[in-house]
Amino acid sequence: MQRTRVKICGLTTPEQALQACELGADAIGLVFYPKSSRAISIAQAAQIQQAFPAFVSAVGLFVNPTRAEVEQVLQQVHLDCLQFHGDESEEFCRSFSVPYMKAIRVRDGLDLQSEILKYSKSSAILLDSYDENSAGGTGKQFNWDIALQCVQSSPAKIVLAGGLDASNVASAIAHVRPYAVDVSSGVEQAPGSKSIERMQAFFNEVRSV
């Protein structure tokens, strides 16, 4: 069985990013969405990215950005993957010559399989909880059976997000068998401030499965 990869999202300092990497993070999410409590500037992102050791991916998170906004970030920060969390089209997502991951917020009435097919060129599909007031990082959990159906029926790499923390991530992995898990608020002591103890507990649970 393949190991479950881990992305820690919403890091705001080089020190916390390095801690996450040393604990075993495969990817670090840098938030370029101004309305997020975890948003950082391009200059901050460049500083954080410099702290990454080898073999850790930098993922830039955007929500309905303009082309110019994405290109400005790419000119100054090395990103291994773009994560789009809004209503971006597949054509827009793949137009930057950088691998991308599309986030889909699970909600009633959404034809999830059809949505996944729209983004067939993506490197992965991230499934997150739906909140009408937030694009992510809500700490809310959705029905994991839905994610399991996607893993079983879709060729896409499924990344599970939404309400994960040390108390439930082992159960989530055992139930869904996702390609990766993505956590933000579940390892925080405050929005944008990660807790090394909570990150350590999270990684311990991931490895226990």
Kind of pairing between the strands at 188-190 and 193-194 = antiparallel
Between CA 119 and CA 66 the distance in angstroms is 19
Between CA 104 and CA 118 the distance in angstroms is 11
39 Cβ contact partners less than 8 Å away, ≥ 6 residues apart: 31, 32, 33
Nearest to 113 by CA among 127, 92, 129, 100: 127
Is there a contact between 21 and 13 (Cβ–Cβ < 8 Å)? Answer: no
Active site residues: 9, 128
